[in-house]
Chains A and B, each alone.
Chain A
Amino acid sequence: MVSCTKCHSPVSKQLMNSTQLDACPSCNTLLRVDVYPALYRPLPVGLSGEKLHMDKEAGCFYHPRKKAVIPCSACGRFLCALCDVTFNGDHLCPACLEKGKTKRKIKNLENHRTCYDTIALLVATVPMLMYWFTILTAPLTIFLTVKYWNAPSSIIPRTKVRFVFAALIAGLQIIGWILVFSNLISRTGS
Chain B
Amino acid sequence: MAQNKKEYQKLPGLKKGFLIGKYTLWQGSDHLLHVFSRFGVEDYKRFYFSDIQAIITRKTAVGFIQNLVLGILLGLFLWPAIASWSGWSVLPGIVATVMLILLAINLLRGPTCESHLMTAVQTEKLHSLGRLKNAIKVMNRLGPLIEQVQGRVGPENLDQMPARPDTKNPVSIPGQPVRPSKITVKHEKGQAHTILFGLLLVEGLLALLTFFFRHVSLTLLGSVVSIFMGIFVIIALVKQHDSDMMHSLRTLTWVTLGFVGISFATGYIFGMVYALKQPGILYNQWEMLKSVSEISPWESPFMLGINIFMFCGALFLGLPGLFMLNKSPAPAEKKNAARANSQRHTVTSPNHKPG
Interface residues of A, Cβ cutoff 8 Å to B: 1-14, 16-17, 19, 21, 25-27, 29-43, 108, 110-119, 122, 154-157
Find residues 146-162 in chain B having any chain A CB closer than 8 Å to their own CB: 146-147, 150-153, 157-162
| A36 near B153: Cβ-Cβ < 8 Å | yes
Are A36 and B158 in contact (CB-based, < 8 A)?
no
Other-chain contact of A112, B42, B46, B162 (Cβ < 8 Å): B42
Q: Decide if A5 touches B150 in the complex (CB within 8 Å).
A: no
- Kindly identify which residue among A1, A17, A42, A155 contacts B33, using a CB–CB cutoff of 8 Å: A155
| Minimum distance in angstroms from B318 CB to a CB of chain A | 28
Give the total number of A-B pairs whose CB atoms are below 8 A apart. Answer: 183
B50: A residues at CB distance < 8 A: 38
Q: How far is the CA of A32 from the CA of B135 in the complex (A)?
A: 10
**29 sample A-B contacts, Cβ–Cβ < 8 Å, listed by A number:** A1-B173, A2-B56, A8-B181, A8-B352, A13-B161, A16-B158, A21-B57, A30-B58, A31-B58, A31-B59, A33-B56, A34-B55, A34-B143, A35-B53, A36-B52, A36-B54, A36-B146, A37-B157, A38-B52, A39-B118, A40-B174, A40-B175, A41-B175, A43-B176, A111-B45, A115-B41, A115-B42, A117-B40, A156-B42
Note all chain A residues with C-beta closer than 8 A to B164. 12, 25
Shortest distance between the CB of B227 and any CB in chain A (Å): 30
Partner of A35, one of B6, B8, B54: B54
Residues of the B chain whose Cβ atoms lie less than 8 Å from the Cβ of A112: 41-44
A7-B353, A16-B161, A17-B153 known; A29+B58 contact, CB < 8 A: yes
With a cutoff of 8 Å between Cβ atoms, the chain B residues found around residue A13 in the complex are: 158-159, 161-163
Chain A residues with CB under 8 Å of B31's CB are 108
A38 x B51 contact (CB < 8 A)? yes
Known: A16-B158, A32-B139, A40-B160. A26 touches B167 (CB 8 A): yes
User: Please, how many angstroms separate the alpha-carbon atoms of A39 and B159 in the complex?
Assistant: 13
Q: A34-B143, A36-B53, A156-B8 are in contact. Are A12 and B165 (CB under 8 A)?
A: yes
Complex interface: chain A residues within 8 A of B178 (CB): 1
**Is B171's CB within 8 Å of the partner chain A?**
yes
What is the bound-complex CA distance between A19 and B136, given in angstroms?
Answer: 9
From A8, A21, A114, contact of B40 by CB (8 A): A114
- Measured between beta carbons, the chain A residues less than 8 angstroms from B40 are 114-119, 122
Q: Confirm or deny: B116 has a beta carbon within 8 angstroms of a beta carbon on chain A.
A: yes
- B53 near A29: Cβ-Cβ < 8 Å: no
Residues in A with CB closer than 8 Å to B75 are none
State whether A32 touches B157 (Cβ < 8 A): no
Q: When the two chains form their complex, are residues A34 and B41 in contact, meaning their CB atoms are under 8 A apart?
A: no
In whole angstroms, what is the CA distance A110 to B351 when docked?
38
* Contact partners of A37 in chain B: CB under 8 A: 150-153, 157
Cβ distance B137 to chain A, nearest Cβ, rounded Å = 12
Check if B305 is an interface residue, CB within 8 A of chain A: no
Contact in complex: B58, A6 (CB < 8 Å): yes
Q: Is the CB of A38 within 8 A of B136?
A: no
A111–B44 CB distance below 8 A? yes
Chain B residues within an 8 Å CB radius of A116: 40
Secondary structure at the B interface, as helix, strand, loop or mixed, is loop
A12 and B163 in contact, given A41-B175, A43-B120 (Cβ under 8 angstroms): yes
Query: Is B342 positioned at the interface, with any CB of A under 8 Å from its CB?
Result: no
Name B57's closest neighbour in chain A (CB-CB): A32
Q: Which residues of chain A are within 8 angstroms of B8 by Cβ–Cβ distance?
A: 155-157
How long is the Cα–Cα vector from A55 to B45 in the complex, in angstroms?
44
Q: Inside 8 A of B170's CB, which chain A residues have their CB?
A: 1, 10
Give Cα A9–Cα B349 distance, bound, in whole angstroms: 10
Q: B42–A155 contact, CB under 8 A?
A: yes
CA gap between A113 and B33 in the complex, in Å: 14
Given A156-B26, A157-B8, do A10 and B153 touch, yes or no (CB 8 Å)?
Answer: no
CA distance A142 to B229 in the complex (A): 50
Find out whether the CB atom of B42 lies under 8 angstroms from the CB atom of A42: no
| Chain B window 229-242, contacts with chain A (Cβ cutoff 8 Å), 1 for yes, 0 for no | 00000000000000
B267 within 8 A of A: no
Chain B nearest CB, measured from A89 CB (Å): 11
Q: Whole-angstrom distance between the alpha carbons of A108 and B136 in the complex?
A: 27
Q: Kindly supply a per-residue 1/0 record for chain B positions 98-115, scoring 1 wherever the CB is within 8 Å of any chain A CB and 0 otherwise.
A: 000000000000000010
B283 in the interface (beta carbon within 8 A): no
Q: Are B351 and A42 in contact (CB under 8 A)?
A: no
Q: When chains A and B are docked, how far (Å) is the Cα of A26 from the Cα of B50?
A: 30
Residues of A within 8 A of B147 (CB): 36
CA distance A184 to B3 in the complex (A): 55
* Cα–Cα, bound, A9→B179 (Å): 13
Verify B139–A34 contact, CB threshold 8 A.
yes
Asked if B226 is at the interface (CB within 8 A of a chain A CB), the reply is no
Contacts A156-B8, A156-B33, A157-B7 known; A12 to B52 CB distance under 8 Å? no
Residues in B neighbouring A7, C-beta threshold 8 A:
350-353
CB closest residue in chain A, given B41: A114
